[in-house]
Chain A
């Protein structure tokens, strides 16, 4: 039993196949407006989790590398102190929370985010008539002019912690639908979600293992001191691509 929770994620790049299943799951769980081609062309598509694809090596020894990037829920987040209206703040469960009703859309936070995981609603979100009935009733539909970003599916975290408290049970990994939609959808188990304050949770053990000397773990842009709650595990390469000349 732990006093307070510190939610976090471990992302194993070695397992990621870049299938985009997490992106679709997130899209439908969190009522994210449909990203049309024009939104991508305008660079205004909203994807709380995205797969970044990088090519490595020269033809014919080319490798596609995938890295899923979502809000890193930084312990000392650059986006939090700059919001004048407290629309984004750090809650006591290690989450970087976005309060849509407070947001006025200065976009200061989005400029501050080194991971570019904050998304602005440039247009009024629209769904085709056929999709309106599939909107998730647990998640607010955001209006135009405000910021949104990954919440680690806070609605699921809230529901499962509330229910486990009601039943006086200890909430363990993945109990009562705790996992975010992306984690549930990940076919290769490269996303693992859990409580870093609970020493027995999978993520804590993985973190301990990965962050020791010679481990595979790293944080994105650690040099900025953002103290993220997402740990990435490095790719393990069987075939080392030879570095190009020079």
Chain B
């Protein structure tokens, strides 16, 4: 079972560039459908901008709605990239190789999707630049650095720049291969420009590898900061019982890793099905990511539990009223049940079984469940948090997302899928050079009398073992 098919470089090039050099049958219909959804969402946005935020379901106690829940969700998904490419790279978990790029590209697109909604949902979107780059020297007003909304764009911006650079640096050798294979002169020229003259000289390889390691080490602080800052958007408000919690930062981060790593497992399953990469993404990879997920999900559940314990331990009536609203009252009660069941109760016990961990179908559907649950988690933090039952019963309110809001939320999902599909058409989603490097470094293991290359275990190169024998 642990044996890996040893593939020639030619075979790897052919397999992994298939998505770029040929057009799969489903590609055009899928892209046009997703494009249509994105356009509808943009239409909804311009409608909202023209008529004002009155077209949303927001009202006085509930000033933030599904947009913000969706923002937190996408920031959470974006943690996949950093987890896979930085942490697993630095800890030398070799099973990461075929999925690093997909995870990083998803990070980039989900960050853009995350930035969509808060920028769209401000009252005057045409003034957004003045918030993100508010250095209006003529008026002498500096941004209010006490506001988490100033920390947000800087953290997310840093993350976006770092991940885009990381994607690009890791792409260089593959772009060079594409440049050499491109037939049309224009395409060749574009790839040539993008490859920055990469020819595979030892010095270039050294720089490329160094840049990758440096970027993944430098991006580590962002791993902690981005979602902490997103959580402070909520935690700094003393007047909102459900939000004002010191545990929010670690709780959000671990939740982000939970949904992010699940999204990577989804991506792995999709690339096996859509691009036929079953020679590269093996049951062993799913097994490894599921083991990681068990740890992450359990830690997340622990934090979730702590958050509730801390809230209820105070015995403060507003806190208890809020928790009751979140967990037992219509319509949040059923949503809460779905959230707990889909994000922990179903997937984690299933992942304990080896057959589930090694099955593409099972892994796909359990991780889809996790992400449904994690979206609901954010929804249940943001909205009941604002609908909270305060002392002033006169101001109690409720919230129903309008069709405009729903269209824009759907648009963010279509946007990420569309981005991934377009990327896969232009550049390979699985890093060629990384897979080749993995083939060379593969450790030989003994199964019975045979000595075979392992799928995900790496170590000293072949010849070391060959000499020994």
Contact = CB atoms under 8 A, between A and B. Distances in A.
Contact of A146 (B123, B143, B148): B123
Contact of B149 (A53, A82, A103): A82
Contacts of A107: 58, 63-64, 122-123
B354 interface: no
Contact of B123 (A84, A115, A120): A120
Contacts of A53: 394
B122 A116 contact: no
Interface string B116-141: 00100011100110110010000001
Nearest to A41: B59
Contacts of A83: 144, 147, 149
Contacts of A81: 144, 146-147, 236
Interface in B388-435: 390-395, 397
B21 interface: no
A44 interface: yes
B134 A121 contact: no
Contacts, number: 133
Contacts of A116: 60-61, 390, 392, 395
Contacts of B238: 78, 112, 114, 224-226
B122 A43 contact: no
B289 interface: no
Contact of B59 (A44, A82, A85, A106): A44
Contact of A105 (B59, B123, B393): B123
A75 to B, nearest CB: 14
Given A43-B59, A111-B64, A221-B391, A102 B141 contact: yes
Interface residues of B, number: 41
Interface in B360-376: none
Taking chain A's interface residues, is the majority helix, strand, or loop, or is none over half, making it mixed? loop
A107 B64 CA distance: 8
B63 A82 contact: no
A59 interface: no
B150 interface: yes
A124 B50 CA distance: 10
A108 B52 contact: no
B148 A82 contact: yes
- Name the residue among A82, A121, A124 with the largest chain B CB count within 10 angstroms: A82
Given A78-B237, A82-B148, A84-B147, A122 B58 contact: yes
B317 to A, nearest CB: 12
Contact of A119 (B52, B60, B128, B394): B60
A127 interface: no
A113 interface: yes
B461 interface: no
A111 B386 contact: yes
B67 to A, nearest CB: 11
B144 A86 contact: yes
B129 to A, nearest CB: 10
The binding surface of chain B is classed by DSSP as loop
A113 B123 contact: no
A122 B397 CA distance: 16
B69 to A, nearest CB: 13
A106 B128 CA distance: 10
Contacts of A42: 54, 59
Size bracket of the A interface: 35 or more
A113 B239 contact: yes
Contacts of B146: 81-82
Contact of B124 (A105, A111, A122, A224): A105
Contact of A85 (B131, B148, B394): B131
Contacts of B134: 84-85
A104 interface: yes
Interface in A26-50: 42-45
Contact of A145 (B124, B240, B393): B124
Nearest to A119: B60
B409 to A, nearest CB: 18
Contacts of B124: 103-105, 145-146
Contact of A122 (B52, B141, B236, B393): B52
A9 interface: no
B403 to A, nearest CB: 15
A98 B389 CA distance: 27
A121 B124 CA distance: 11
Interface in A70-121: 78, 81-86, 102-108, 110-116, 119-121
Given A52-B392, A81-B144, A111-B63, A104 B54 contact: no
Nearest to A221: B391
Contact of A84 (B53, B131, B240): B131
A95 B130 CA distance: 25
Interface in A9-28: none
Nearest to B59: A43
A239 interface: no
Given A86-B141, A112-B240, A145 B53 contact: yes
Interface string B181-204: 000000000000000000000000
A84 B393 contact: no
Contacts of A45: 60
Contacts of B148: 82, 108
A145 B239 contact: no
B147 A108 contact: yes
A144 interface: yes
Contacts of A104: 122-124, 127-128, 130-131
Given A52-B394, A108-B149, A120-B53, A145 B123 contact: yes
Contacts of B239: 78, 112-114, 221, 224
Contacts of B59: 42-44, 122
6 contacts: A43-B397, A69-B392, A108-B148, A112-B236, A116-B390, A120-B53
Given A43-B60, A106-B122, 13 more contacts: A52-B392, A52-B394, A54-B393, A78-B238, A85-B141, A85-B144, A104-B131, A105-B53, A106-B118, A106-B131, A114-B239, A116-B392, A221-B239
Interface of B: 51-54, 58-61, 63-64, 118, 122-124, 127-128, 130-131, 134, 141, 143-144, 146-150, 233, 236-240, 386, 390-395, 397
Closest 3 CB pairs of A and B: A105-B123, A145-B123, A114-B239
